[in-house]
Amino acid sequence: MSTTGVPVRDVAQAVAAVCAVAALWEVVERRRATGRARLVLGGGVSGVPGALGGRAVWSAVAARWWAVLRGRRAWLCLPVAGVVALLGESPLPLIAGAVAVPVVGRRLREAGRRREGEARAERVVALCGAVVGELRAGWQPAQALAFAARETGALGDEEAAVLAAARFGGDVPEALRGAAGQDGADGLSGMAACWQVAVDGGAGLAAGLDRLEAALRDHREQRERLRAELAGAWATVVVLAVLPLAGVALGAALGADPLRVLLHTPAGLGCLAVGGALEAAGLWWAARIVRAGERT
């Protein structure tokens, strides 16, 4: 047996073990989701009457499966790294893939929190408009806030505290300021200020919230315009990230066998380490510049 056969066999076994564990995990999650769907929907997958119940169960299973996959997208680094390890006959890509899993997972979680914050900001704008509409329809402020909060879901985890303060004569502005601490809910601070002015000074709450809604919409439109202007910069960052991979693919197409050079020679390993460090630094710096422009 050649010396190069050992790493290939080890890498293949490692990749097979990872795939087997992932498949077993998905089967377990699917069966758990099926059991929960049966209990909730009262339908069946086999032998239980009602085609609607069966479709609903399988829809619930599919939704659960998709949620599991979305929550573990970072683990896709391992199969990709396993393929590269097999092609390059080296375990180094698999090690790099294992290291990349927590890094990619953290980035994905940050992106998810950012999207959730933007969605909550949209709901805060809708909350202001809904409260204004209910106030002009003749409702009391507490009733208008309760109805609008339930319709829009803008208060998030603090909804119970804010509604309790509004219903039982508590400090509504303070409760709104507490809810404003959530990601994307900064507009609730403005609502708290409007509520405080209306209570203390007798000013019209509807007029203040109307102006607040207009200001929040202007801010959102300005952010969208800035994001459109920075789309070219983000495209440049993506191109910088793809260029090294394109170079390796081009070398393989020309028959130069770049994976063997990078993974099995001292000069290639040195170039891989230095190039990877420079690539990571360049991507981090470019992303920092673009994000600074977005914050501005």
Are 191 and 264 members of one domain?
no
The answer to whether residue 9 is domain-embedded is no
Are 213 and 235 members of one domain?
no
The answer to whether residue 5 is domain-embedded is no
Q: Quick one: pLDDT at residue 67?
A: 60
Instruction: Place 43 in a pLDDT band, splitting at 50, 70 and 90.
Output: very low
Q: Quick one: pLDDT at residue 76?
A: 82
Are 286 and 238 members of one domain?
yes
Query: Which residue, of 218, 248, 280, is where some domain finishes?
Result: 218
Query: How many domains does the chain contain in total?
Result: 2
The answer to whether residue 249 is domain-embedded is yes
Query: Which residue, of 218, 240, 275, is where some domain finishes?
Result: 218
User: Mean of the pLDDT values across residues 30-42?
Assistant: 51
The answer to whether residue 199 is domain-embedded is yes
Tokens representing residue 34 in the block:
């099926």
| Cα–Cα distance for residue pair 248/17, rounded to 1 Å | 28
CA 50 from chain center: how many Å?
Answer: 37
Q: Quick one: pLDDT at residue 231?
A: 85
Are 212 and 237 members of one domain?
no
Are 255 and 181 members of one domain?
no
Are 214 and 238 members of one domain?
no
Query: Which residue, of 196, 218, 240, is where some domain finishes?
Result: 218
Tokens representing residue 236 in the block:
């440049």
The answer to whether residue 159 is domain-embedded is yes
Q: Whole-number mean pLDDT of the chain?
A: 79
Q: Over 80: is that where the pLDDT of 19 sits?
A: no
pLDDT in tens, 92-109: 888 888 888 888 888 888
User: Mean of the pLDDT values across residues 163-190?
Assistant: 89
Question: CB 63: neighbour CB atoms within 10 A?
Answer: 12
pLDDT in tens, 248-295: 888 888 888 888 888 889 998 999 899 889 888 888 888 888 778 777
| Cα–Cα distance for residue pair 165/179, rounded to 1 Å | 12
Concatenated DSSP letters for the chain?
--TTHHHHHHHHHHHHHHHHHHHHHHHHHHHHHHHHHHHHH---SSS-S-HHHHHHHHHHHHHHHHHHHHHTGGGGHHHHHHHHHHHHT-SHHHHHHHHHHHHHHHHHHHHHHHHHHHHHHHHHHHHHHHHHHHHHTT--HHHHHHHHHHHH-TTGGGHHHHHHHHHTT--HHHHHHHHTTSTT-THHHHHHHHHHHHHHH---HHHHHHHHHHHHHHHHHHHHHHHHHTHHHHHHHHHHHHHHHHHHHHHHHTT--HHHHHHHSHHHHHHHHHHHHHHHHHHHHHHHHHHHHHH-
Q: Is there a contact between 275 and 266 (Cβ–Cβ < 8 Å)?
A: no
The answer to whether residue 157 is domain-embedded is yes
pLDDT in tens, 182-240: 888 889 999 999 998 887 765 688 888 999 999 999 988 888 888 888 888 888 888 88
Are 251 and 187 members of one domain?
no
Domain that holds residue 234: 230-296
pTM for this prediction: 0.66
Range with lowest mean pLDDT among 10-19, 106-115, 159-168, 272-281 = 10-19
CA 137 from chain center: how many Å?
Answer: 38
The answer to whether residue 87 is domain-embedded is no
